[in-house]
Amino acid sequence: MKIDPTTNKTIRIILFIFQAGIFHFRFWRYQQWYDIVVDDRLPFLIKQRRLWGARNLFELNEFWVSLLEKAYAKLNGNYTNLGGGLPVNALTDFTGGIEQRFEFKSNLSVTHLRPDDLFDFIKSCIDFGSLIACSINADKRKTETILSNGLVIGHTYSITNYHVLPVTYDNKLSKLSDRGLIRFRNPWGNDIEWNGKWSDADPVWNLLDEKTRRRLSIQRKHDGEFWMSFNDFYKEFDVMEVCHISPDTYDEFGLNTQDYKHHWHMWYVLGSWRAGENSGGSCANSGCRHGCYYWRNPQFVIELTLNRSFNSNRLCMMIIALMQKPISSNSNSISNEQYVQIRLFKIKPNVTICEKKVYKPDEVERIASTGPYVNRREVSLLLKTTTGAYLIIPSMADVDQNCDFLLRIFSQDTTLGRTFVNIFANEHSEDFSRRNLNPQYTISEQSPMNIFFDATHSRENFPSSDLDEKRIDVIPIRPQRYADK
């Protein structure tokens, strides 16, 4: 400890002794931060005279990424367990964030995101520091095949910036220009880049003034960084994954939110499915009105009321994320993951709300879902909705399975009118979740989990063939679909 003579405050001095060869990392798992310590021994290929794993191709004496990979492999058990997962899983483990996944060719309608709003969504994500990855599905093509346009199949790119182009019209008031540009980075950091419109060498850049080109750092360099129009991005890529920085990360590391005027409110609960008690499985019927076991699943009730400063007709923003706890703490394999889903219902106005009540199909109206059951670690639902009482039901596809889960809820411009409760169909079961209720975290209102969603969809928008089937969902292979058992 040392006293700062200018402020008379105590300063904590941390000394890094690199000669010790010890490196400390922190990773997030299931609402907890874990400390991982590794030594400086790294796998090395003797014949090739280079490191075996992740490395800097140009700065050979830079080792932080190799050490990070080693620590992450230790968290997951070994290097082998790092393969086969989704990029957004790693981003979540690094930041404690909440993930979203968009498949442009299949599930934009399920996520309530209109294609016309996607560019605005990307802008907002970048403005608020979210991490974005995108890729092209391999299908039957070989992974890491380089296409004629310079893009690589089954390869993850990062999205790092955007630029809004001025809108021009013809004499019929039809738009002539691209809406905007997106900047990408190939982690290979070499000359394998997009070579189409708005690539480094494309003369179309001359349409922009020199000041704009300089601000965007437009250079003909083989560094893996390139620009594309949003239209080409939407056409060429299949998957976009977003990791929004979680509120507890700001608290954990003492970071500041970007706007203290309005906040997101966060609640989380740790819950469980237990065979013979509350593991009701899925339902093959979209309306689910035939008395199946689905309604035995855990039921969570939340009542949203607007802050007094807002109009009562204003829509509320809400994000719901369900993360299943891994069977093995050091395994990243999707084979250990259950097929999970969230459904959101609005409780009808004439229904009495009480803690011990188990709600039935005729007492609620289904308004949204995370989509098909998927064997993914986390699924999320983002939407705008009105005030009122809501029922959240997380479920697995199969009946009578044991699994623990983390349910996180963000709401904007709202307060809870009643206690956030967990209801079990078996009234003698222990209420695991209320003991873990933690409503203290907040985040900026203008978070990228934002304004492009509408929850005024009727039940007809969610046919059972789209929402209640199983689906394998792993990059780089296009998801396969399976019917419910």
Query: Hey, which residues are catalytic here?
Result: 155, 186
- Contacts for 436 with CB less than 8 Å, ≥ 6 apart: 268, 269, 270
Spatial CA neighbour of 370 closest among 180, 98, 130: 98
Buried b or exposed e, range 77-90, using 16+ CB within 10 angstroms:
eeeebbeebbbbbb
Kindly give the interhelix angle for 87-95 and 64-76, rounded to the nearest 10 degrees: 100
CA angle (161, 165, 167) in 5-degree steps? 155
Would you state the structure tokens that stand for residue 202, as one six-digit string? 């494309």
Residue 431 to residue 449: CA distance in whole angstroms: 30
> Residue 226 CA to chain centroid, in angstroms?
24
Count other Cβ atoms within 10 Å, centred on residue 233: 23
Query: What is the three-class DSSP state of 350?
Result: coil
Residue 466 to residue 463: CA distance in whole angstroms: 6
- Whether 397 and 302 have beta carbons less than 8 Å apart is answered as no
Residue 184 to residue 430: CA distance in whole angstroms: 49
Work out whether the CA dihedral 223, 227, 232, 235 comes out positive or negative: positive
Spatial CA neighbour of 404 closest among 72, 87, 31: 31
- Whether 337 and 376 have beta carbons less than 8 Å apart is answered as yes
Spatial CA neighbour of 193 closest among 156, 142, 237, 227: 227
Distance in Å from the first CA to the final CA of the chain: 63
Residue 93 to residue 346: CA distance in whole angstroms: 32
Spatial CA neighbour of 118 closest among 245, 236, 231: 231
Query: What is the three-class DSSP state of 61?
Result: coil
Q: Where are the alpha helices (DSSP H) in 405-475?
A: 464-467
List phi, psi (to 5°) of 28. Answer: -100, 135
Eight-state DSSP code of residue 132? E
- Residue that is written with structure tokens 């369900």 in the block: 322
- Whether 135 and 479 have beta carbons less than 8 Å apart is answered as no
